[in-house]
Amino acid sequence: MQSPRKYKRVVVKVGASLFATEASKLDTGLVNKIAKQISDLIKQGKEVVVVSSGAIALGMSILKLASRPKRLEYLQAAAAIGQHELMHVYKLALNKYRLNCAQLLLTWDDFLGVRYANAKHTLNTLLKLNCVPIINENDTVATEEIKFGDNDRLSALVSILVGADLLIILSDVEGLLDKNKKIIRQVDKITGEIKSLACSTNKKICVGGMVTKIEAARIAVEGGVPCVITNGRKNRIISQLTNNPFCQGTIFLPR
């Protein structure tokens, strides 16, 4: 088990299924709880990067759409409408703790060449300034060829980009369940058997599910970053995991 002292830089992925209800309403109370935990961690000298879904879900709510659009242009439009609403909620929540936040919208191209270095420098500078980066996929311009398709993979790539000590994927599940519906606490190697345990998710408001979470964990651990998948509604879950990532959910360890 790694020493808790080593978990200084943490990437937290917040899934749309967490704070978006069936009606795609944003749970501002949950965002406020996340902001409080981030504030506490920064006071401890830690650094936090947030990868947050929710823009499309919020856009759907504003547009009064009952289900997630299938056509790309409608997804882009919903994202354009919902993204500033999402950032506004984070801004209000973090301002309560005298913290600034910054918006970064990324596509696959931003993880290549000079743009990769630029994104890395920007994130490192923001963290030095005690500013909380809020990252999302740039759904307003993404195409089928370059879009990540979910923020699980994006969070894994970001964790490697910033040299994170830990990736926490918050969702509405307790972790990876075995065939007997019991939580697998630790995964040392992602095998075909582990992948077969993945399940689907609610496609009305989000994409992804356990399939993409396991894929994200694979990307992260291959980059040397341990990854935890757990229920984001648990009390002080981010603070708990940053101090001891083995205490909740399922942890995937680098080989």
Q: Which domains does the chain show, CATH number per domain? A: 4-252 (3.40.1160.10)
- pLDDT value of position 2: 47
Distance, CA of 174 to chain centre: 15
> Pairing between strand 227-231 and 250-252?
antiparallel
What is the pLDDT, as a whole number, of residue 197? 84
pLDDT at position 87, please?
Answer: 94
DSSP string for residues in the chain: ---GGG--EEEEEE-HHHHB-TT--B-HHHHHHHHHHHHHHHHTT-EEEEEE--HHHHHHHHHT-SS--SSHHHHHHHHHHHHHHHHHHHHHHHHTTT--EEEEEE-GGGGSHHHHHHHHHHHHHHHHTT-EEEEEE-TTT--TTT--SSHHHHHHHHHHHTT-SEEEEEESS-S-B-TTS-B--EESS--HHHHHT-----TTT----HHHHHHHHHHHHHTT--EEEEETTSTTHHHHHHH-TTSSSEEE---
Residues of the chain falling short of pLDDT 50: 1-5, 200-207
Rg (CA), the chain: 17
Q: What is the average pLDDT value for the chain, to the nearest integer?
A: 87
What does the pLDDT read at residue 208?
53
Answer whether 216's CB lies under 8 Å from 227's CB.
yes
- The token pair at 215 is 């894929």
Rounded to two decimals, the pTM is: 0.90
What's the burial of 64, exposed, middle or buried (CB within 10 Å: 0-12/13-18/19+)?
A: exposed
